[in-house]
Amino acid sequence: MKGVIFLFSLIILLLIYKLFKNKQTAQIEDALQNSNLKSNPLNAESVRTFYNETTEKFRKVYGDIIQAFRTKNVEDYLDYTIKSADLKDGQTILDAGCGIGGPSKYFASKLDIQIEACTISDYQAEMGKKLIEEAQLQDKVHIQRADYHDMAKIYPKDHFDRVIFLESFGHSPDKKMLIEAAWEVLKPGGFLYIKDLFEREAGGDEDMKKIKEICEEINKAYHYAIADLHEIISIVRKKGFIFTSVKTPEVDMDLFEHLTISNDFQNLFDISKINSWENYIFPIDFLEIKVQKPPFMIDFNKHLYHMNQPEAQ
């Protein structure tokens, strides 16, 4: 009998200890999360202020097409984007994080399309509207100041043929929320297209340490949160998108813009220059992700989803 009482008492003590330990662990995790939020103040307002204050710096180096991964003649890259994102006449497109609307203006000049474009920056929205009017494209491109996380509140459900993020995706502190919002506004059969930088992976610990240090420097300087490819793939798959491609942009290296423009821009923002590719640990991969919102009801056509047949009806 005493043995039973002892065993019962021991079980009770273990349960109490476990409850205390779980509570203590939760408190530690909350403290760490709050600390991380304070050390990484990325949010819509910080990005808005950043671009209100720095857009003209970007324009001094990049002109109206504010894109880091580019060709010497940037229109060559925009032509590639039209092909890669499969932009076509008759489509309705959302340019999410459009800057001053440079790419949207070019796409609209080449195609018979309707573009809704949004930027978090007041300055960029007003500048973009002016540029669109000067190009007499206001009947094809509409720019507004808005937080792209709110796209599902701003635009109709199942409305767009394409939602494109051209080096704007990384400004999001909540990429899961952003991808879910894109799902809501895409038509069934529509495509989400992301062109952005993703943290590189390296085989050695020392190289990975350098990569993370440089990425952190980039994030702080540009109010960015460089994405983790594995995390984004997981979010996209869980949402139900069908993968079409994940790839490095297929640009002729003879046309690619190399060091000069990069260093000019880094000088403006006081970030260390790339003096040589030799021994330089490149911290990011520029990648394109293209995925489709299924054109069929997944619950009733799971065989089509699992067979990865995006065109099947």
User: Where are the chain's structural domains?
Assistant: 1-39, 44-306
Length of the chain (residues)? 313
Question: What is the C-alpha separation between 263 and 130, in angstroms, rounded?
Answer: 29
Q: Which residue has the higher pLDDT, 41 or 240?
A: 240
The one-letter code for the residue type at 34 is N
Q: What 3-state DSSP class applies to 308? A: coil
Q: Which band of pLDDT confidence, cut at 50, 70 and 90, is reported for residue 253?
A: confident
The average confidence (pLDDT) of the chain is 83
pLDDT in tens, 92-141: 999 999 999 999 999 999 999 999 999 999 999 999 999 999 999 999 99
The one-letter code for the residue type at 258 is H
Cα 89–chain centre separation? 25
Is it the case that residue 182 has pLDDT exceeding 50? yes
> CA angle, 149 as apex, 144 and 150 as ends, to 5°?
60
CATH class held by domain 44-306: alpha beta
Packing angle of the helix pair 44-62, 122-134 (nearest 10 deg): 40
Q: What pTM does this model have?
A: 0.81
**Residue pair 132/141 in contact by the 8 Å Cβ criterion:** yes
